[in-house]
């Protein structure tokens, strides 16, 4: 679906943000791109919808080279939800905001109406439909931004740092929503440095450091690998930290989930009693 081949990217101020990145995202994948701030995560995903074009190498989306297609065309298939909803909200009502992209893409009025309705209900914004997006709380604004992208039903949804500034409950809601989207067959790409969030989602993890991919594998293996995690300067999830200290008792160390941890500990104790 999205194929990144040996991509290099240098910003106009000569910062080399990507140094030979290759990555393949298949339909229905759930990928978390992780790493420290400045590791090149956002730069990489901005290549997926053509906001950035590789300095060297190629990015193809559904077989089309992103260099030959406008951002608007690519965005039909790839929805990008930016980190800060305030960078995109500008309409007088939530409804207008959600309809904006649909109008840009030239949908018919009837379909626009239907889609807006659907997206607003999907994100539980029905009672705010006539409110000004600026009057809503931070979490609600985030949901409006999300609705305004999901409205045109893109095949791939990219979320840039969705958990920043969100409290625990909001994160939990968001996590359930993302997992549900993915279960319905949508390809989801999440850019984040929130380890605990990823540990609970259990997606495929692409770990980046200094413009390169350090490792690409499932969350359980990547996040519990002390060496890789240090290399990418992230902190392992708390449960795996605990188990890293218990390895000399013969316990496995690749545990990230609380309940899995409990079961293993109970097993261990039960076996001995």
Partner 1 sequence: MDDILCESRTVNKTLAIINTSGLIYTYPGGREPSLVDVSLTIEKGDYVILTGPSGCGKTTLCRCLNGLIPHFYSGKLEGEIKVASLTVSEHSIYELAKHVGLVFQNPENQLFALSVEKDVAFGLENLGVPREDMRARVDWALQMTGIYDLRERAPHELSGGQQQRVAIACVLAMKPDIMVLDEPTSFLDPLGAQKIFEVIGDLNKKLGITVILVEHRLDLASKYANHVIVMDEGKVVLDGKPLDVFDSESARLIGVGIPKATRLYQALRQSGVYLNRVPVNSQEATLLLQEVLTRDRG
Partner 2 sequence: MSVFEGFRFRRVLSPIHQLDPRVKFLYVCAVFGIAVMFNQLLPLILLFLIQLPFVLAAGVQKEWIRSMKGASFLALMIFLFNFLFTYFYREYPIFPPSSSLLEYSLAMTLRFIVLVESFSIFFLTTSPDRLGLALEQSHVPYEFCFAFTTAVRFVPVLAEEAQTIMDAQKARGLELERGNFIKRIRNYIPILIPLIVSAIRRSLELAEAMESRAWGATNKRTNLYVLKIERGDYILAVISVGMLILAVYIWLFMREQIPSLIPLITAQNV
Residue 5's binding partner among partner 1, partner 2, none (Cβ under 5 to 8 angstroms by kind) is none
**Unique residue bearing structure tokens 């893409």:** 105
State which residue, 137 or 176, has the beta carbon closest to partner 1. Answer: 137
Decide which of partner 1, partner 2, none touches 258; Cβ closer than 5 to 8 Å per partner kind: partner 1
Determine if 72 is a binding residue for partner 2 (CB under 8 A): yes
Q: Is 180 exposed, middle or buried (CB count within 10 Å of its CB: 0-12, 13-18, 19+)?
A: exposed
Closest CA to 195 of 167, 160, 224: 224
Binding site for partner 1 (CB under 8 A): 36-38, 137-139, 164-172, 193-196, 233-235, 237-239, 241-242, 245-246, 249, 258-259, 261-262, 265-266, 268-269, 272-273
Q: Which of residues 14, 37, 70, 184 is near partner 2 by CB under 8 A?
A: 70
The mark string for 101-140 relative to partner 2 (x by CB under 8 A, - otherwise) is: x--xx----------------------------x------
Spatial neighbors of 130 by CB under 8 A, at least 6 apart, are 93, 94, 95
Cα separation, 39 vs 224, in Å, equals: 20
Bridge partners of residue 156, in order along the sequence: 78, 187
Q: Does 268 bind partner 2 (CB under 8 A)?
A: no
3-state DSSP assignment of residue 52: coil
Tell me: does residue 37 bind partner 2 (CB under 8 A): no
R_g over Cα of the chain? 20
Residue 93 CB, shortest distance to partner 1, in Å, is 21
Give the whole-angstrom CA distance, residue 151 versus residue 121.
11
53 binds partner 2 (CB under 8 A): no
Closest CB to partner 1 among 36 and 58?
A: 36
Among candidate residues 237, 61, 87, 67, the one with its CA nearest the CA of residue 148: 87
Among 3, 28, 38, 51, binds partner 2 (CB under 8 A): 51
Partner interacting with residue 226 (select from partner 1, partner 2, none; CB below 5-8 Å by kind): none
């Amino acid at each position: 679906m999205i194929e990144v081949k040996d991509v290099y990217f240098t910003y106009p101020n000569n910062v080399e943000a990507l140094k030979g990145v290759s990555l393949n995202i298949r339909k229905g994948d759930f990928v978390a791109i992780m790493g420290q701030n400045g590791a090149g995560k956002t730069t990489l995903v901005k290549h997926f919808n053509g906001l950035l074009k590789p300095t060297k190498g190629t990015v193809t989306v559904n077989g089309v080279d992103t260099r030959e297609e406008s951002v608007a065309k690519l965005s039909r298939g790839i929805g990008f939800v930016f980190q800060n909803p305030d960078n995109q909200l500008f309409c007088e009502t939530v409804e207008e905001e959600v309809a904006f992209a649909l109008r840009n893409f030239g949908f018919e009025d009837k379909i626009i109406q239907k889609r807006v309705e659907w997206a607003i209900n999907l994100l539980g914004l029905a009672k705010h439909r006539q409110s000004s997006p600026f009057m809503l709380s931070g979490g609600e604004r985030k949901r409006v931004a999300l609705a305004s992208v999901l409205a045109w039903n893109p095949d791939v949804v990219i979320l840039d740092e969705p958990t920043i500034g969100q409290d625990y409950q909001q994160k939990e809601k968001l996590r359930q929503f993302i997992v549900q989207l993915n279960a319905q067959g949508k390809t989801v790409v999440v850019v984040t440095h929130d380890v605990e969030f990823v540990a609970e989602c259990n997606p495929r993890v692409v770990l980046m450091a200094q413009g390169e991919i350090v490792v690409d594998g499932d969350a359980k293996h990547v996040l519990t690998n002390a060496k890789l995690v240090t290399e990418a300067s992230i902190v392992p999830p708390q449960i795996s930290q605990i188990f890293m200290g218990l390895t000399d008792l013969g316990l496995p160390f690749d545990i990230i989930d609380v309940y899995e941890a409990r079961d293993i500990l109970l097993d261990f104790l039960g076996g001995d009693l």
